[in-house]
Amino acid sequence: MNLEAFILGTGGMMPLPRRFLTSLLLRREGDLFLFDCGEGTQVSLKMLNLRWKKIHSIFISHMHADHVTGLPGMLMLSSQVDRDEPLYIYGPKRLGKYVQETRRILDMYINYDIVVREIEGEQMIYENNEYAVTSFPLDHTKPCLGYTFCEKMRPGVFHPERAEALSVPRGPLWSKLQQGESVQLTDGRTVYPEQVMGDKRKGRKISFVTDTTYLPGIAGKVKDSDLFICEGMFEAKLEEAAREKKHLTARQAAQIAQEAGGIDKMGLIHFSPRYTERDLQELLKEAQELFPDTFLCKDRQSLDIQFKE
């Protein structure tokens, strides 16, 4: 089961010629999930040339222009593909009105249903048998949400030698056991999946945190992430200014990653337009002093998220 992350943009405030606005796309077996959609997000998506079909759902961190002005275009783009299922859009309050009003004023022709769900604070916002998306509150100049995409536990490894030792005939009974069902043998014995399967294994987790001041509570939400995408807007010497504007420095992002524990790697994102690519190396260095497994997100970078166990 593939799980890939595509960074569609890494900038904050305004798009730059070589730096689109912060946005993350996840692809899990053909399903696409988009986190934030600033101006130009659809251009970046096109440049990636993904064989993309449908966006399953869109998650918006907050109602600032650099995170939502790409939405109308993205909704038009989604009209190019046939879809029967609605497109779900989640985010803080006023998102519904924004989508509704833009559609009305721009007379947008959209050939599918759009369902907007306004979220407040910590919530399980989407769940199926395989994964769940949850939100948690951040602290910005307006209501803002962080998100985690978390796969559920997977069945353990099947041990054929154990099945053979229990005289379970190879074939459909083996697949039943692998699917977690117990089976009845012809001699009347029942064999339970626990007898032939190893321990359950962890799924993968990706967290997305942008536009917030440092909050001690974030660490607990993002812990054990295989990939933690976090705002690192400013260098450490601008911490005071960052706090006033309710943003994070790269070093504060690293502090969160360090406190969280279990984070495989952290990608910094939402860079201030004041920094050149060269300047960003300084932010990276400051973060790595606290959390060595930090990298600078790059526009249209893709990351393959592997199972740890």
**Nearest distance from C-beta of residue 253 to Zn ion, angstroms:** 14
Closest residue to bound Zn ion by CB: 64
Q: Which stretch binds Zn ion (CB under 5 A): 39-47, 210-218, 237-245, 271-279?
A: 210-218
Residue 151 within binding range of Zn ion, rule CB under 5 A: no
Single out the catalytic residue among 36, 66, 211, 226. 66
**Nearest distance from C-beta of residue 202 to Zn ion, angstroms:** 32
Nearer to Zn ion, 42 or 78 (CB): 42
Identify the CA nearest to 23 among candidates 13, 12, 36, 42: 36
Whose tokens are 């053979």? That residue is 164
Nearer to Zn ion, 78 or 212 (CB): 212
**Nearest distance from C-beta of residue 231 to Zn ion, angstroms:** 8
Size of the site for Zn ion (CB under 5 A): 4
Nearer to Zn ion, 47 or 65 (CB): 65
Q: Which stretch binds Zn ion (CB under 5 A): 95-103, 148-156, 206-214, 287-295?
A: 206-214
Q: What angle do CA 303, 308, 34 make, to 5 degrees?
A: 35
Q: Which amino acid is at 14?
A: M
Residue 231 within binding range of Zn ion, rule CB under 5 A: no
**Nearest distance from C-beta of residue 66 to Zn ion, angstroms:** 4
Q: Which stretch binds Zn ion (CB under 5 A): 106-114, 183-191, 208-216, 253-261?
A: 208-216
Residues 66-125 that bind Zn ion (CB under 5 A): 66
What secondary structure, in 3-state letters, does the chain show? CCEEEEEEECECCCCECCECECEEEEEECCEEEEECCCCCHHHHHHHHCCCCCCEEEEECCCCCHHHHCCHHHHHHHHHHCCCCCCEEEEECCCHHHHHHHHHHHCCCCCCCCEEEEECCCCEEEEECCCEEEEEEEECCCCCEEEEEEEECCECCCECHHHHHHCCCCCCHHHHHHHCCCCEECCCCCEECHHHHECCCECCCEEEEECCCCCCCHHHHHHCCCCEEEEECCECHHHHHHHHHHCCCEHHHHHHHHHHHCCCCEEEEECECCCCCHHHHHHHHHHHHHHCCCEEECCCCCEEECCCCC
Residue 36 within binding range of Zn ion, rule CB under 5 A: no
Q: Which stretch binds Zn ion (CB under 5 A): 26-34, 63-71, 274-282, 291-299?
A: 63-71
Q: Which stretch binds Zn ion (CB under 5 A): 44-52, 90-98, 203-211, 282-290?
A: 203-211
Binding test (CB under 5 A) with Zn ion, winner from 5, 6, 11, 12: 12
Binding test (CB under 5 A) with Zn ion, winner from 28, 64, 221, 223: 64
Residues sharing a CB contact under 8 Å with residue 269, sequence separation 6 or more, in sequence order:
7, 10, 22, 24, 210, 229, 230, 231, 232, 297
Residue 39 within binding range of Zn ion, rule CB under 5 A: no
Residue 66 is among the residues annotated as catalytic for this protein:
yes
Nearer to Zn ion, 22 or 57 (CB): 22
Q: Which amino acid is at 285?
A: K
Binding test (CB under 5 A) with Zn ion, winner from 36, 39, 151, 211: 211
**Nearest distance from C-beta of residue 278 to Zn ion, angstroms:** 22
**Nearest distance from C-beta of residue 211 to Zn ion, angstroms:** 4
**Residues of the shown chain interacting with Zn ion in the complex, contacts defined by CB under 5 A:** 12, 64, 66, 211
Residues taking part in catalysis: 66
